[in-house]
Amino acid sequence: MSIGIEAELVLYPEASVTLDKKLPDAAKRPRFVVTYPGATVGHLCEYIMQRIAVESGSSRLKRRRVSMCAVKTDLCIEDVLVVSETGEGQFTTLNVRALDDLLTVEKLRADHWANKKRPLRLIFKFVPLPPSGK
């Protein structure tokens, strides 16, 4: 199965990213990416980290890594705030199932994105790195 030599994606920050005051503004913007179908989720995660470091001139993300999840095609991006009301107008973000770093863009499009004419949409968030045993 081939989807061509280019794949268009839009990478949106998850609600926890946009609300985190410790993250630079560069981390809170959607990213419009054109890549090749063989690129992996791991490549996209590394891209997010590198772009934010370059744009913000900050190393505040050193103890974090990027995790991504797919957006279903039948939802508008406005419907994809991954939160749960905890009471009295308070919300908390819900855990989402992270995509495997080895999953390719081509496989993602085949499994999660029926509308091949529009860019594939993914949501990213930052998760703490596990403590090293040093």
Q: How confident is the model at residue 26 (pLDDT cuts 50, 70, 90)?
A: very high
Q: What is the pLDDT of residues 73-127, one digit of tens each?
A: 544 444 444 444 455 655 555 555 789 999 999 998 888 777 778 888 999 999 8
Give the C-alpha separation, 91 to 56, whole Å: 28
The CATH architecture of the domain made up of 7-128 is Roll (3.10)
The rounded distance, in Å, linking the Cα atoms of 48 and 67 is 10
Token reading at 19? 């609300």
Specify the pTM: 0.76
pLDDT at 91: 55
Q: What does the radius of gyration of the chain's CA atoms come to, in whole angstroms? A: 15
Longest dimension (CA), the chain: 49
- Is there a contact between 29 and 57 (Cβ–Cβ < 8 Å)? no
- State what percent of residues in the chain have pLDDT above 90: 37
Mean per-residue pLDDT over the chain, rounded = 80
Structure confidence at residue 86 (pLDDT) = 55
